[in-house]
Amino acid sequence: MKKTLLVAIILMMISTTLPALALGPLDVDADLTLMSQYYWRGVVANPDAVLQPSASAGIMGIGFGFWGNMDLTDIGGKQGEFSEIDYTATYGLPLPMMDLEFGLIYYHFPNSDFASTAEIFASGSLGVLLSPTLSVYYDFKEADGSYIEGGVSYPFALGPKLNLELGLSGGFADSNFSNFHYGTKSTGLTNFLVTAAVPFDPIPFLTITPSVNYGSQLGDFK
């Protein structure tokens, strides 16, 4: 993935979501997100507008899904083409006051010279104040390195059915992951991201989420 020096960037996103449908034991979910830029773990992968569709299906804790990134401008001569498609397989384990998830992500980069890669991950979230989450990713195919992401979030009520959802997250990378994605062999905190979103439901079975995000790379990772 193209490495970009980043001091600070503002992202604006509108996400349209079809809430999960329970089809007997099968849960199906779909999402269509429009973003001003594609921002991934502190890296601006595309500085122009992108469309990011996704879909997933799960049964008895086992899930499969895909996520894609389509360039909407002619940057790199790829307008209207997918620059990335990710395939995921997950297993979720709900526990008292905690949710755990384990999985595999396969990253494919069509219409580019980037080699496909893959990660395994483990993620956990606590059902307490600020809903803390922690996810550990290990790229075993190309980077042979690890990335850790932690975050907190909190909703503020704006009305009976309207919330302002605030979030803060940050990343940590080891030297192998940093060398592959950031061009430095440093180990440490790589980036942070602040989010503010106001989801609302204009009609049944449809959620629209305007969002403003602010992120920056840190220290040696700029």
Question: How does 132-143 read in b/e, with b if 16+ C-beta sit within 10 Å?
Answer: ebebbbbbeebb
- What whole-number distance in Å separates Cα of residue 184 and Cα of residue 170? 18
Closest C-alpha among 11, 79, 14 to residue 52: 14
Structure tokens at 115: 């080699």
Distance CA 33, CA 35 (A): 6
On the question of pLDDT at 21 being above 60, the answer is yes
Distance CA 123, CA 135 (A): 4
Please answer whether residues 196 and 210 qualify as being in contact, where contact means their C-beta atoms are separated by less than 8 angstroms.
no
pLDDT digit string (tens) for 27-59? 889 999 999 999 999 998 899 999 999 999 999
Residue 87, token pair as written in the block: 């395939």
Average pLDDT over residues 142-163: 95
Structure confidence by residue, pLDDT tens digits, 55-100: 999 999 999 999 999 999 998 788 999 999 999 999 999 999 999 9
pLDDT at 11: 67
DSSP state of 48: S
Q: How far apart are CA 71 and CA 26, in angstroms?
A: 32
List CB contacts of 23: < 8 A, sequence separation 6 or more: none
- The band of 14, judged by pLDDT with boundaries at 50, 70 and 90, is confident
pLDDT digits (tens, 9 = 90+) for 197-210: 999 988 887 889 99
C-alpha dist (Å) from residue 17 to 59, 70, 105, 212:
20, 17, 22, 17
For residues 151 and 133, is the Cβ–Cβ distance under 8 A? yes
Are 15 and 213 in contact by the 8 Å Cβ rule? The answer is no
pTM over 0.85: yes
Q: Do the bridges between strand 26-35 and strand 50-59 make them parallel or antiparallel, or are there none, so unpaired?
A: antiparallel
